[in-house]
Amino acid sequence: MATAAQEGSPRVFHQALRAAGVRATKDEPLGSVLDECMGRLQRHYRCEYVYKAAVADRVVFGRHSPRTASLHVELPVGRSIVDLAVFNGTSTAYEIKTEFDSEKRLASQASTYLKAFEHVYVVCHPDRVERCLRVSDPAVGVLALTRRGQLATVRPAIASRDRMDRSLLFRLLRASEYQAAVERLCGTQPDMPNGKRFSHYSRVWETLTLDQAHQAVVAAMRRRTTQSSVSEFVSALPKSLRVLGYATPLSAPQQQRLLNILH
């Protein structure tokens, strides 16, 4: 997607479609062809991207709105990387376990996410529900992606902020974000050389309540993708590319070039 946006040409899409044996006619918009491919994946090969697209579609574009709910793809949390994270008034982590994945790391991943998110869900294939229920902490919710592409709640997540870890929350933020949050909550901070900022601000951060720390993280993470330059762009993308849209940083001219190619 980044290459197509840089080149302003559908070349790489057509190359990939040809390699996949998909014939695209010139009359059909590229976006529709990609959505049709996504439909086929949903029916015949439910890889991780199908699950991600379902969560984006049902949660961010369905239950909420991209103007108020922020989606983050492959977000590093501690030593793990959560597949999807949504920040609206609260924080929710979605760990995906397709029928091709192993649940071996689920327990340790979920225990990390429970320290950084108010809600944690594992999204899995219906055949893997029992295993996911058994392996994961009872506070972790389980969603099954049905054959029709809906997310069925098998077990709701148990929300809590008490189990959160301030240090994990702090590390989700960029330097400018934690500086702004600490200054807002704790007052002006002394000038600091950039090599010592992290240790100073992380020490002050430890004095925040868990509620304050969590709210500061939610506000900062929301700001990253709910601004109109992002939300309008991802809303204009075909459904099949929305997750990629969130995951691929593009300049405004690149976004426009990509939309011109797709529609």
Footprint of other proteins (CB under 8 A):
76, 78-79, 168, 171, 192-199
| Least distance between other proteins and beta carbon 189 (Å) | 15
| Least distance between other proteins and beta carbon 130 (Å) | 32
| Least distance between other proteins and beta carbon 72 (Å) | 16
Are residues 114 and 140 in contact, defined by beta-carbon separation less than 8 angstroms?
yes
Structure tokens at 205: 């951060």
CB atoms within 10 A of CB 253: 11
Of 6 and 32, which CB lies nearer to other proteins in the complex structure?
6
| Least distance between other proteins and beta carbon 252 (Å) | 21
CB atoms within 10 A of CB 232: 12
Are residues 98 and 124 in contact, defined by beta-carbon separation less than 8 angstroms?
yes
Looking at residue 84, what DSSP letter applies? E
Are residues 87 and 221 in contact, defined by beta-carbon separation less than 8 angstroms?
yes
Of 76 and 126, which CB lies nearer to other proteins in the complex structure?
76
Of 138 and 195, which CB lies nearer to other proteins in the complex structure?
195
* Rounded Cα–Cα distance for residues 2 and 121 (Å): 30
Of 154 and 180, which CB lies nearer to other proteins in the complex structure?
180
